[in-house]
Amino acid sequence: MLSSVGRDLKLSEDQNFDPTKGDQLDQTISEILSETSDWTQYKYYKINVWDGPNGKSGSLEINSVYWETHTPTAGDPNAADTSTQTFSATGMTTVSVGTYNAPEDVDVTFDEVKDSEEGGELESDNYYISNVQNYKGYWSAGQSYKKFDIVRHRDSNKFYYARKDITSPDVAFNVADITFHIRPPVPNLTENHVGNLEFVGHASSGGFKQAGFESGQSIQIEINGNLKTYSISMLTEKIIVLSMYQFGDREVRQVVESDLLESADSQTQTVLVKTSDLDDENWSSNSFFFDADYGSSISFKGYNAQYEYGDGYKVVKPRGINSLSVDFNLKFTNRTSREANAILHFIENNLGQHEVQQEKYTLEYDQGIDGFNMDGDSLFFPYNNTENLTRKFYCFDFNHTIEGEDVHTVDARIFNNNTSILHRNDYLYVNKPEVYDAEQTYYKHDIVYVPGSDAYYYYQGEENARGDPPTGLYGVSINKDKWTREFYWKPSSSFNVNHSPSIAELSSKASAYKQYFPKNKNNVNLLSFSVTFANRSEKEAYAILHFLESHLAYKSFLFIPPAPYNRKRRFICQQWDHTYTFRDSHTITAKFEQYSLGQNTPLDDDEMDNLTPTVENRSARLALVNPVELRSSSLGVFVLKNQIEIKNTGETEASNIVASVSGDFTMSSLAFNRDDGAYLSAVDGISRKTNTANYDNSEGGAFLYEESGSAKSQDNLGRIGTLDFAAGKLTNRAAAGVAHISKDFLNPNKDPTLKPGESAFAEIYYTTGAAEKGEVLGNLTVTYKSLDTDKTSKYEITATVAQDHIVPETIDVAIEGTPEADIYKKSYSIDRYSEFDFISEENVFQTIQHSAILEDSIMAEPQDLSEVTNMLSQNGLEGKLALGIVYDSEWKYLSTSVAVGSSLGGNLPTGTGGDILVLVVESDKKTYTFGKMTSTEIVDGAIFEKTEIDTLHNVNLMESLLGALDGQSLLDIGIVNFNVSGVIFSESTSLPAINSGNGYLPGMDIRINLNDTARIIGRGGKGGTGMVSEGKIFQGDGSYDSMSDFRPPSSGEDGGDAIEIQEQNPNVKFTIKWTGDAKVFAGGGGGGGGGANLDANAEWPGSSKYKINFAGSGGGGAGMGLAGYTLASHGALFNGGEGGGAVNNNSRLTLVSGGNGGDSGEDGGGSSALRFPASGGKAGKAILYYGHTVGTSLILDGNTANNTKGQI
């Protein structure tokens, strides 16, 4: 409320106006507050306070020229229907309702977000949405563009960035009825040369140029009945040189023989000429072309390993051949919104998210993100060379500041880390110097390379020189007053050295007193400092940068620091920075570290080149190859044995070797592995049959020997038995153990020495009591001499006695999958008509089914109306969209033939046999009705659904056990209950759904308990691909593409295993127990791809003039195996998919259907083709095991033919 002198602000009618009562003040204040002097608008209004410029509300009728009467219709916000509200990437719909307005839907668009012309691109889960959204949609050849505009290419889906303003070009034109000869590319005139055109005649011109052809254009001509596009590399009036067509800067494969044109005389054609495309001159896709500002910098860093040798001596070595990396720290200041958007969009869309595996014609070296190229505009001296233009760079660190309206700053760290230091004599990052030339005059800071000494020299003389070489005979440096290999440049003032001497501190916890000693006798205070070379010329900066780079961040060089440190010493430089301050003004900062060798009388570079280091061998080191663990599982009197191997892993000889054991353990003498071995082959008429070099120290291991013609065995418990080869078993084994006969076979060689790499062998024993059980510990001590130094090694010995009688612990581990009813996870995608992969020109329905299978999907089969809404919310597209529902006396789901019934409401159209149900989606991309189409009718697109299994998969039981241990040791565990429920699935045919893992201890009892809900499902094999004949195929837009060679069918893939017992030790017992309806189902094999119904000896009727025929592909195996593409069905959880039917587009050749995928545990079916038959894949195993015997160490409890599918 406005007031004046305690009175309400109001206006009086003219006849009642009285200035003495304050009316003039009210009038003046009101005019100030009014937006217009005539009161047609007013800023302030409060009901029941201001009367208004035209009277009270009760007398409005007398001022009707100013007022209209409206009666508002109120709405109840609490009763509003919000079910119509939506939200997408490009806009939203909201309900508008309140006290003075009735409910209505209002659309709100997000104007800043740009979608493609067709719409729906930003709603697709398959498209990475950039944070920077400002781009111009799909590229259009006839449209004008501004510099830094961003477009996408419709075919490749790559982003392109405008290098300059592009005026709407003359896009394309036809040259009618021009006659020419087609000739092969002889001789080869240009890269990717495929052929030539020779001018014959034209009605309105006398040659190719006169007819409008130019270099750089792309033309479309007919070759053998097919339209082909080529690029004009060069031309005259009479000759056009054709090369393989390409657009933009995409990778292009090399020309192969099938690309070359064959001679054809007097071809009269109408030639389509394209004069513009996404060419490199106007557009960039993979080249960073933005021009950085002065103040940008480059950082070099060596990734090295440092090795210390004592007394302060150390050496620095590179970590591999890619140890020198570079960071371009580029600044872009005061940039427009358009340019800043382009820079940010380029970097964000080169993070690898758009990359797919493509066919390569060269050997792959790099893996991971491809990166991008640096363009000439983004590089500056001395880095603007061919090598840097062809290298791949990456940017994962960039910053954006909005300084004001249309003023932006972008900082980007662009780096390369895969340049090899092996290219030191060619290019690393800075430009390459020339080889020394005796006829050339050289000036200060010039650089030359001298091949004879494989070294760079830098000209330090104040006067120019000519004919004064850097080296003389044998590459020895001369003219050192002019040429040098030392770092001779003087740093700028302000020189700071932070000293950090190498000091050791000795102190006691009981006292505050401390003592200090030098850690080293030498090199106690090595220098480390930063030097700056400010405002240096381009030439001097280049010389400094090249010097540092040529030393690769680890090679040492001579340098004289400023006083008082001005003594020539060797240094290394592991990192340096270069700032491009301004034109011909550069600043370099480097960190120098004093090199520890030769500080008093440092060696010059020639002497360093000729150093021959001497290497001292390390002393001997005796190591135990395997731990000493003796073990028995039963009570009794036994002599436990463990063979040990002691190996010299050092570099010098070990002598005077003595070994001993402590406690109740005993030990044989050491046997040294000389030429005749550590174990003799025979002793006292007894011959050894065991390979003692790889002796089995487990309880089941045994020493085999022959005595008096009888084969005998003594196990590691000392029990002797007789081998009955006829019966294939061990007989008459003693119940108690005795001293081991293998001890007598140890070689009595008494020379107690071991050379590097040699081994000595011995045996350690422990005798158990009849009722003894538990764990016994002891030590093995080995003493020896090396380099006149006495050394000792000590190792722990463990004997576990009567392990089975040690009460073990039981642990329960829950393996919980998702219940079967909840495992299916659906996702949806939409393909436009232009994206279909056509297999038939007439039958669009078959093409849609085929396109869905190519994406590992099926045509969408919504089970209720809420699923329809969900599909549309994930994929915004308007028009007629095909579903996987067909009419066969009633509407049925395509994959199951189950009737739709009333699940989709009562508004389905009346169909006729073969009709397909479609969604007719309005322009808001959410309102729809149901319609229908015939199998040949063109639609705007189709909705696909992909079903995946969302549950626990590929379980490793040992990993689960280790994760469940709570401070326990495996040694404490005797029984493990893996309690399995729900669905356990495998995502790969090469991996089982459940793998036992290995590493279990002998005597452990592993129980895999499958409860009533457990479903262990191996992955189904993929169906084989059906044969495809050569010929031409419809592309959907009226054009055809051709394939000159046929593609034979492939066999179905094998199914995966359900359970694998990877642990091979038979002393570990496994029990698998089925309860109730538990199931263990192996994956079914994929069906074989269809071939040709043609006699094997018949002549192949190949021709590329006819339409391509497609054989049916194999169905996917049970266990969700994927179909093999052509019209086959994916496998379900327990059933295989049907093989696909053939699509024969011409009658010259009949291709046949593919084989069905196998049901759970069954092989896939093969095709019935007479020519090129393909077999189905083998079923996986229900239970795969190694080294166990069913009924003994592998117990199967409760399995039947119904709950176990697949071999065991």
Last-in-domain residue among 221, 253, 283: 283
- CA 355 – CA 349 distance, rounded (Å): 10
* Two structure tokens written together for 655: 């002598």
Within 622-775, where are the H helices?
A: none
- CA 1108 – CA 1029 distance, rounded (Å): 5
In 3D space, the residue among 348, 351, 376 whose CA is nearest the CA of residue 281 turns out to be 376
Q: What is the pLDDT of residue 1070?
A: 95
Name residue, tokens 């209002």.
Answer: 106
- CA 939 – CA 933 distance, rounded (Å): 8
Q: What is the DSSP string of 1139-1191?
A: PPPPB-SSTTS-B-PPPPPP-TT-PPPPP--SBS--PPPPP-BSEEESS--BT
Question: Nearest 5°: phi and psi at 192?
Answer: 60, 35
* CATH number of domain containing 232: 2.40.30
Shared-domain flag, residues 278 and 292: no
Helix (H, G, I), strand (E, B) or coil at 1118: coil
- CA 633 – CA 636 distance, rounded (Å): 10
Shared-domain flag, residues 774 and 831: no
What residue type is 214 in one-letter code?
E
Interval 882-898: pLDDT, tens: 999 999 999 999 988 89
* CATH number of domain containing 866: 3.10.100.10
Q: What is the pLDDT of residue 1164?
A: 95
CA-CA distances (angstroms) from residue 844 to 46, 939, 941, 1107? 66, 9, 11, 16
Within-domain flag for 844: yes
136 burial (CB, 10 Å; 0-12 / 13-18 / 19+) is middle
CA-CA distances (angstroms) from residue 523 to 500, 537, 597, 684, 1136? 11, 37, 9, 66, 76
Q: What is the pLDDT of residue 30?
A: 57
- CA 1120 – CA 823 distance, rounded (Å): 12
- CA 1079 – CA 1159 distance, rounded (Å): 14
Within-domain flag for 537: no
Shared-domain flag, residues 717 and 843: no
Maximum separation of any 2 CA atoms in the chain, in Å: 149
Shared-domain flag, residues 206 and 353: no
1125-1141 in b/e form (b: 16+ CB < 10 A) is: bbbbbbbbbbbbbbbbb
Question: How many Cα neighbours within 13 Å face the side chain of 94?
Answer: 8
Q: What is the pLDDT of residue 903?
A: 87
Helix (H) or strand (E) holding 973: strand 973-981
Within-domain flag for 271: yes
* Two structure tokens written together for 232: 């004009």
Whether 1075 and 1032 have beta carbons less than 8 Å apart is answered as no
Q: What is the CA 392 to chain-centroid distance, rounded?
A: 17
Q: What is the CA 316 to chain-centroid distance, rounded?
A: 33
Q: What is the DSSP string of 158-194?
A: -EEEESS-B-----EEEEEEEEEEEE---S--STTEE
In 3D space, the residue among 1112, 1113, 1129 whose CA is nearest the CA of residue 1121 turns out to be 1129
Within 393-530, where are the H helices?
A: none
Whether 53 and 10 have beta carbons less than 8 Å apart is answered as no
Within-domain flag for 151: no
Shared-domain flag, residues 397 and 375: yes
Last-in-domain residue among 891, 918, 944: 944
Interval 1005-1030: pLDDT, tens: 999 999 999 999 999 999 999 998 88
Shared-domain flag, residues 336 and 207: no
Within-domain flag for 505: no
- CA 9 – CA 42 distance, rounded (Å): 14
**pTM (2 decimals)?**
0.44
Within-domain flag for 581: no
- CA 1071 – CA 966 distance, rounded (Å): 24
What residue type is 1099 in one-letter code?
E
Residues of the chain with pLDDT under 50: 1-9, 11-15, 35-66, 120, 123-126, 247-252, 358-361
Shared-domain flag, residues 760 and 901: no
Shared-domain flag, residues 674 and 748: yes
| Radius of gyration in angstroms for the set of CA atoms belonging to the chain, rounded to a whole number | 43
First-to-last CA distance in the chain?
Answer: 91
- CA 1058 – CA 1018 distance, rounded (Å): 4
Q: What is the pLDDT of residue 276?
A: 56
Q: What is the pLDDT of residue 6?
A: 42
Shared-domain flag, residues 291 and 275: no
- CA 205 – CA 119 distance, rounded (Å): 45
Q: What is the CA 543 to chain-centroid distance, rounded?
A: 40
Shared-domain flag, residues 707 and 633: yes
Q: What is the pLDDT of residue 1176?
A: 94
DSSP single-letter state for residue 865 = H
- CA 1129 – CA 852 distance, rounded (Å): 11
The neighbour count for residue 495, using CB atoms within 10 Å, is 14
Q: What is the pLDDT of residue 1058?
A: 96
Shared-domain flag, residues 787 and 712: yes
- CA 557 – CA 605 distance, rounded (Å): 7
In 3D space, the residue among 89, 72, 50, 271 whose CA is nearest the CA of residue 173 turns out to be 271
Whether 918 and 933 have beta carbons less than 8 Å apart is answered as yes
Residues in Cβ contact with 348 at an 8 Å cutoff, skipping those fewer than 6 apart: 130, 131, 132
Last-in-domain residue among 910, 944, 978: 944
User: What is the residue range of 14's domain?
Assistant: 3-63
Within-domain flag for 429: no
271 Ramachandran zone, left/alpha/beta (phi>0; psi -120 to 50):
beta
Shared-domain flag, residues 661 and 676: yes
Give all strands (DSSP E) within 674-773, no chain letters: 682-683, 686-688, 702-707, 710-715, 720-724, 729-731, 759-767
What residue type is 188 in one-letter code?
N
Q: What is the pLDDT of residue 38?
A: 45
Within-domain flag for 691: yes
- Counted domains in the chain: 5
* CATH number of domain containing 755: 2.60.40.10
